């Protein structure tokens, strides 16, 4: 796709986000995932990793109308219904806070749009993203109920196969999905996992 067409497309999602009141263009990626895979059901409890500025949390709240816990190092402006934990999703401290929030409850969905600060070095970015993906899996292990669903952003590359192996151990159905709302030149891809196996 030419740079001009790519910019026009990005501009389209940016304008749509503004028009519909979403805080980020990325909201459309989750909407596409939802339309294709029906990841979120009414009443679902959801953890949203890498929630700032809040686009995915908005979509998660709209579809579930349930308990949504967002986590990010960066702030999220007040969003009705969102329980926001400001902190590093990879730290034990943050997981403790999630535990306090949930008590003995489990969640139905774990979402991760966690992204490292991209350096432009493909291998370094892939490695950092892989590490964040593995950290997101810890939330699956600790907080997701049996039968639950998981969406995780990753980057195409050799590490992704390693991550997919780990996801397949835990879920019955695993798919890769590239939303139209992703930048065309980006190597980002979303892993969609359905039906958490019993441990
Ligand atoms: C692509 S943005 C998420 C956009 C969000 N899904 C939305 O729709 O508004 C990625 C986010 O991951 C967050 N992030 C990266 N590493 C993190 C970490 N270790 N703990 C918490 N958040 C992290 C960044 O601060 C950033 O806000």
Q: How far is the CA of 38 from the centre of ligand 1 (A)?
A: 23
| Mutational pocket test of ligand 1: of 52, 60, 87, the residue with most ligand atoms within 8 Å of the beta carbon | 52
| Topology annotation, domain 3-196 | Rossmann fold (3.40.50)
Say yes or no: CB of residue 27 within 6 Å of ligand 1.
yes
Say yes or no: CB of residue 114 within 6 Å of ligand 1.
yes
pLDDT at 78: 95
Whether the per-residue pLDDT at 75 is higher than 60: the answer is: yes
Half-sphere exposure of 52 (CA within 13 A, CB side): 13
**The model's pTM:** 0.95
Residue 50 neighbours by CB under 8 Å, 6+ apart:
71, 72, 89, 112, 113, 114, 115, 132, 153
Say yes or no: CB of residue 70 within 6 Å of ligand 1.
no
| Mutational pocket test of ligand 1: of 114, 128, 134, the residue with most ligand atoms within 8 Å of the beta carbon | 114
Collapsed DSSP state (helix, strand, coil) of residue 2: coil
pLDDT digits (tens, 9 = 90+) for 98-118: 999 999 999 999 999 999 988
Cα–Cα distance for residue pair 172/195, rounded to 1 Å: 5
| Mutational pocket test of ligand 1: of 27, 49, 50, the residue with most ligand atoms within 8 Å of the beta carbon | 50
Say yes or no: CB of residue 144 within 6 Å of ligand 1.
no
User: Of the listed 153, 169, 176, 196, which one is catalytic?
Assistant: 153
Atom number of ligand 1 nearest to Cα 117: 15
Q: How far is the CA of 174 from the centre of ligand 1 (A)?
A: 23
CA 133 to chain centre: 10
pLDDT at 185: 73
| Active-site residue flag, 153 | yes
When pLDDT is cut at 50, 70 and 90, the band that residue 119 belongs to is: confident
pLDDT digits (tens, 9 = 90+) for 41-63: 999 999 999 999 999 999 999 99
Domain residue spans of the chain: 3-196
């Amino acid at each position: 796709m030419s740079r001009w067409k790519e910019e026009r497309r990005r501009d389209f999602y940016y304008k749509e986000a503004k028009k519909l009141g979403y805080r980020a263009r990325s909201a459309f990626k989750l909407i596409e995932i939802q339309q294709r895979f029906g990841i979120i059901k009414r009443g679902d409890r959801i953890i949203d990793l890498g929630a700032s500025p809040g686009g995915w949390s908005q979509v998660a709240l709209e579809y579930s109308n349930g308990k949504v816990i967002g986590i990010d190092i960066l702030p999220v402006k007040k969003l009705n219904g969102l329980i926001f934990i400001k902190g590093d999703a990879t730290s034990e401290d943050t997981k403790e806070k999630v535990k306090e929030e949930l008590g003995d409850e489990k969640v139905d969905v774990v979402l991760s749009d966690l992204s490292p600060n991209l350096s432009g070095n493909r291998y370094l970015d892939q490695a950092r993203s892989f590490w964040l993906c593995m950290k997101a899996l810890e939330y699956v292990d600790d907080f997701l109920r049996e039968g639950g669903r998981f969406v995780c952003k990753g980057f195409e590359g050799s590490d992704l196969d390693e991550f997919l192996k780990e996801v397949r151990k835990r879920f019955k159905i695993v798919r890769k999905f590239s939303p139209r709302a992703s930048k065309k030149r980006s190597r980002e891809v979303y892993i969609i996992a359905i039906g958490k196996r019993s441990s």
